[in-house]
Amino acid sequence: MGKEDPKVSKPDNTAFTQQRLPAWQPILSAGIVLPLFVVIGLTFIGIGIGLFITSSNVQEIEGPVFMYYGLTNYYQNYRKYGISRDDDQLFGNIDSLKSPANFCSPYQMGAKQMPIAPCGAIANSLFNDTFRLFYKVNEVYTEVLLDDNGISWWTDYNVKFRNPPEINGSLKNAFEGTVKPLNWPKPVYELSTNPNNNGFINQDFLVWMRIAALPNFRKLYRRISEGNWSRSLPAGNYSLEITYNYPVLSFQGKKKVVFSTVTWMGGKNSFLGIAYLVFGSLSIVMALIMLIVYAKYQVQIDRDISTKNKQVKQIEKRDSVLTPKQQIERLIRPGSSYFNLNPFEVLQLDPEVTEDEIKKRFRQLSILVHPDKNQDDPDRAQKAFEAVDKAYKLLLDPEQKKRAIDVIHAGKEYVEHTMKEKKKQLKKDGKSTVVEEDDPEMETRDGRVDSWRTFQAKGKKKEKNRSFLKPPKVKMEQR
């Protein structure tokens, strides 16, 4: 068998595979954040005012009227209550009808262990008060027609809830073998005489099964949309007849009946408008607080931002040499024969790196400068590749790596000693003690070449008389 081509597993040298795609990272300054908070705050305050005014303009009685029943201190959002149902059963599934889910417990099975339909605490607590509205004219009471058609959500009536298939044309037979919920006065198949409003698709049942998020809520009971009352309720005397079936005293609750019109945002409800106003106001307050903090610590903040920007630019400058052409130019530039004596500089690594990091960096650079990837300049790429390969092999040799590190340390000590002597002399001459070596970016190319040439020469000179390659440390003169 032939050897597998090693190039097959190598990723393409593209900006995407080599992660060289340009990126944008916003730097959030006070000039950006403060106006942003103010704009967001003013926007939310404007929307909140609009919602609050719209809700306040909802007029009771005038216009198409909706009739609601309301409950207080009733927690439909309680978790065990909210999950106490069987959606498969409510969808008309025969198996679930005969064997309700455990979520319905303790309203899962009734007398003689017969399944309850519909099961669960939500269905068992169905609101069952009834209302009749009368309009009094000349001592004559005329009943106002209340329409229960379409008071539930369309998705509930047409998608989520289904009656089980009728047996012999009878819905009652479909529910045979089940019992009604404990608190119901009659079974589910007798909720209405209208076949399109009976069983699991009864409108009042659907409205109740969509639980409320807050403890004080109201639910749609009827619409007044027929006869002389289709547009509005005329001024006059009205009487409301209530059939009281639903107890609320046990949980300190209250019941109410509300007649209201609606707008584009629904019925009268100021909560959403107030929520927008509160959030917008908090944004403005936060903007003011940050403005005060910024004004107090502006100098320090600007200094930190300047330092951060400088660091980012340094990183970008360092990373900008990761393109193939720039790497080749770096590795074979004039004086590279001396620069490349330092294997760490060739691979752009710190002396403290691990062997895995050295291997990883070698793979990256070898791909970038490989002649096969730089066919427009193969000769220069070959020289750059050889420099990378030589540095990599040198660092894999423990003795050569140790010698390189010793040379670096010795060089640092030499530079520090030289700087110290220079500063002493400048101070003695009454001149500024700032020297070029204080800023690494000001160090000249000739200085770096001479430094490496000197220490490499020292290492070679001592090599004959030493059993290992560690160069001697520079001894500081004692004065």
Per-residue pLDDT of 6-39, as tens digits, reads: 556 777 778 788 777 887 777 777 788 888 999 9
pLDDT value at 346 more than 80: yes
d(CA 188, CA 202): 9
Q: Give the predicted TM-score (pTM) of the model.
A: 0.51
- Greatest CA separation found in the chain? 131
pLDDT value at 375 more than 80: yes
Helices 271-296/30-56 angle, 10° precision: 160
Helices 324-331/355-369 angle, 10° precision: 100
Confidence of residue 92 (pLDDT cuts 50, 70, 90): very high
pLDDT value at 79 more than 70: yes
d(CA 423, CA 248): 91
Higher-confidence residue of 440 and 176: namely 176
Confidence of residue 152 (pLDDT cuts 50, 70, 90): very high
Return the minimum-mean-pLDDT range out of 108-112, 336-340, 388-392.
Answer: 336-340
Please give the pLDDT value at position 465. Answer: 44
d(CA 118, CA 82): 14
Q: Which of 62-71, 165-174, 423-432 has the highest mean pLDDT?
A: 165-174
pLDDT value at 464 more than 80: no
Please give the pLDDT value at position 434. Answer: 63
- Checking 283-288 for CB contacts under 8 A at 24+ apart, the result is 283/37, 283/38, 283/40, 283/41, 283/44, 284/37, 284/38, 284/41, 284/42, 284/45, 286/37, 287/34, 287/37, 287/38, 287/41
Q: Are 391 and 349 in contact (CB under 8 A)?
A: no
Which residues have CB under 8 Å from 425's CB, separation 6+?
A: none
Confidence of residue 199 (pLDDT cuts 50, 70, 90): very high
Please give the pLDDT value at position 182. Answer: 93
Residue in the structure block whose two tokens are 């024969």: 337
pLDDT value at 112 more than 80: yes
Please give the pLDDT value at position 312. Answer: 61
Please give the pLDDT value at position 463. Answer: 44
pLDDT value at 378 more than 80: yes
pLDDT value at 58 more than 80: no
pLDDT value at 150 more than 50: yes
**Three-state SS at 348:** coil
Return the minimum-mean-pLDDT range out of 361-375, 384-398, 421-435.
Answer: 421-435
Ordered structural domains, the chain, with CATH = 63-261 (no CATH), 322-463 (1.10.287.110)
pLDDT value at 198 more than 80: yes
Helices 378-396/355-369 angle, 10° precision: 170
Q: Which of 274-278, 364-368, 398-402 has the highest mean pLDDT?
A: 274-278
